[in-house]
Structure 1
Amino acid sequence: MYTPEASRSIDLTTEVKLKGFKAYEVDPRANGGHSYNRKDFYKISLTSGKYVFHYADRSFETDEPILFFGNPRIPYSCEVITPTLDGYACLFTEDFLNLSERSESLLQSPLFRLGGTPILILNQPQKDAVATIFQKIMVDQESSYAYKDELIRNYINLIIHEALKMQPTVNAPEHKNAALRITSVFLDLLERQFPIESTNDRLELKTAQDFAQQLAVHVNHLNSSVKGVTGKPTTVHIADRIVSEARALLQHTNWSIADVAYALGFSYPTHFNNFFKKKTGKIPKEVREEVL
């Protein structure tokens, strides 16, 4: 169903894709929270109110001002228990921030990394200082200043640096079963890549090594954890999910087989054909013809 909130979300998505960033003031009437959906954007938000944040396999509850750092590759959701009092948010792409070589390391900091501290509770002076930076971003993004992108990039870096200087006040609870935690997040990350909705999309995480790098663990540790918990190797989970998505795309879209292959991360249609036949006993064309 069409709603003004849905329209605003579409407008934000379009603007961030075009410009690489977008800052905005949080609607003080917003009280529905938000759930994770696949995005291409990093997010930094400063908000007040009572919330429960779910980030990967952890949850944080607070009714104090918080600074949140969202990574588009790690699932998160927010439940708002009381209406938002005030706040700001900034969405930006990795490419936008990585135009500065120094920024690349900031995206690998504990603020954005799985297992790090994505939420900081702020005192009033800290909140006021960060709010001032957000306000500057909002003013400058509307200006005609020729170098405003670089200026805004510096502001975002400044927020990250200010957060890194703060003593984290929310500590991640230790999980009794680290293998279960890693497996849970791996499976969540795998599923979050689907469905593929456009021929312009392309699977980013395709191998066990890709997932291990994203999770900041050694690939052998990931493989042993997943195999120990599920009884199936990491590669089998990935292959099974790719096959499932391939069937859906072949049966429910009019994309060419080459487009399907590209979207699923295969460099050549022949590689996709060989993979699919090995897993299913059929070539993609046969599956497509079954529904004609």
Structure 2
Amino acid sequence: MMKKESEPLVINSITEFCKVLGHPKPKNPLLTVLEIKCNSDYPELASNKLIYDFYSVFIKRNIKRPIRYGRRFYDFSEGTMGFSAPKQVFTLDSPEDVAEVTGWYLVFHADLIRKYQLGKRINDYNFFSYSANEALHLSDDEEQTIEKIMRDIRKEYEQPIDLFSQDVIVSYLEVLLNYSNRFYNRQFITRKQAEEDLLATFTTYIRNYFEQPNIAQLPNVNDVAAQMNVSAHYLSDMLRSVTGQSAQQHIHDFLIEKAKQLLLTTNLSVNETAYRLGFEYPQYFNRLFKNKTGITPATFRGNN
């Protein structure tokens, strides 16, 4: 049995990762692909929380407990896909929860992609910073697509290394991440009710925020997402998929509407309006208002 939760265990390399979890030494020090099988015997670890200094991508099937998606719970016995970036805390499942789990596990170090275009674009794949309850739930066809790419990567990395090995592996990896982006976008659409619930909650929260008599500071996307129990990137990606605008753009739209209301229904000066909305410096308010409306707050008040 795994010991009680303690300080996270930091794993700095792919080789160390394989050693800690009881797998053979990787053939490539910057990448490994492992097939998850039922009744895996995990070694006893000092903590159930790990911090990887590399990226991880995994597929799990036959997960016992229901998974929360938005504010709902679903029974996902089919493929569930997750991602983590370096320095994130990764929580291991209990032995009871993984007794029947199968799937794939791919981990790769940033050095593998550093000289490639993918290395410059890796932060564009926001799902690496999604929370665990925002996993990607694959259809049968999608799961087969991802699994085939996993097998292709493993086949290539098991070949004797030559001048093109890394190029081919990175190409496969980029295809894998692009498919993941596509499937997440599909999920935003097909799980429409859950996303509409999230959108309604977000809208209500922001509207109520700007109705406060005294706003200490402008609403921050990270803080709003935390209040909604989702990650900031997931919230923005979901809103962009459903409405075409990010969370920050929605916040600015609400802010401008509230600013117009104050400018037309109160005797507050422009500077006082800026402070009332949470701006520390009025010039930032003027700049944002003009950027959004094409005119300054003073001109808007004068015209109306």
Q: TM-score, normalised by structure 1?
A: 0.49
